[in-house]
């Protein structure tokens, strides 16, 4: 599989998907910081084109995962699709759009200000999502580690997506405008790391 990965990587986009994604990130950041504060504020806002393309990316990845699963190219498509769906909805702020506060906060479940009519469905959703993620990790974590040790490009792309997710959460809520635009740009890259990983994995399995 590693040898197939290397042969496939010699052609087209897959020659270096890292370069494409990182170059895009750096270009956006450079162009952003060269603008005035009003433009930077718009790009860092929740309704900016950056966030829109990020959300679109998750749903593109979801569709790709389902298609690859249905065609038998991958065995983890449904779990991946569910995770990407949850991340896409989170990016679109669905976690707090219909409730008193964000359902990913512990305070949501213990606060008296949140009615049971919100807590019960939110608890069911979060438990269901947690169960799916747990089963997904149990089935696929070891093969993922094996692929990482083999320096498989699809696995490395996935690792970058995970790392960027963690980094974006670490700098989330930073008050400085520069951190806001960095966070939004990092979040833009996340789904496209996963899309690239899915497509490259499909290529190497042919």
Residues 6 or more apart from 2 whose CB is under 8 A from it? 150, 151, 152
Beta strands in the chain (DSSP E): none
pLDDT at res. 15: 62
Q: What confidence tens digit (pLDDT) does each residue in 162-171 have? A: 999 999 888 8
pLDDT at res. 59: 95
Q: How far is CA 69 from CA 37, 65, 79, in A?
A: 45, 6, 10
Q: What confidence tens digit (pLDDT) does each residue in 50-82 have? A: 888 999 999 999 999 999 999 888 889 899 999
pLDDT at res. 149: 94
Q: What is the percent of the chain with per-residue pLDDT over 70, rounded to a whole number?
A: 88
Mean pLDDT within 101-106:
83
Quote the pTM value: 0.83
CA neighbor of 104 nearest in space, from 85, 129, 79? 129
pLDDT at res. 9: 45
Mean pLDDT within 181-187:
87
> pLDDT class for 191, splitting at 50, 70, 90?
very high
Provide the residue ranges of all domains of the chain, joining segments of one domain with +: 2-204
Distance between CA 203 and CA 169 in Å, rounded?
Answer: 31
pLDDT at res. 1: 46
Q: How far is it between the farthest Cα atoms of the chain?
A: 59
Mean pLDDT within 6-14:
49
């Amino acid at each position: 599989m590693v040898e197939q990965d290397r042969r496939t990587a010699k052609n087209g986009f897959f020659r270096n998907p890292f370069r494409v994604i990182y170059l895009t990130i750096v270009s956006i950041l450079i162009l952003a910081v060269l603008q005035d504060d009003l433009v930077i504020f718009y790009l860092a806002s929740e309704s900016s084109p950056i966030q829109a393309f990020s959300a679109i990316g998750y749903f593109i990845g979801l569709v790709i995962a389902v298609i690859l699963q249905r065609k038998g190219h991958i065995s983890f498509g449904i779990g991946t699709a569910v995770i990407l769906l949850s991340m896409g909805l989170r990016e679109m702020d669905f976690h707090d759009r219909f409730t008193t506060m964000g359902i990913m906060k512990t305070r949501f479940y213990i606060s008296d200000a949140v009615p049971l009519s919100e807590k019960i469905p939110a608890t069911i959703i979060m438990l269901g999502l947690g169960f799916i993620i747990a089963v997904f990790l149990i089935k696929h974590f070891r093969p993922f580690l094996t692929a990482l040790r083999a320096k498989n490009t699809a696995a490395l792309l996935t690792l970058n997506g995970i790392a960027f997710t963690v980094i974006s959460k670490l700098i989330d809520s930073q008050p400085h405008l520069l951190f806001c635009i960095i966070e939004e740009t990092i979040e833009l890259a996340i789904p496209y790391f996963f899309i690239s990983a899915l497509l490259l994995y499909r290529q190497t399995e042919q």
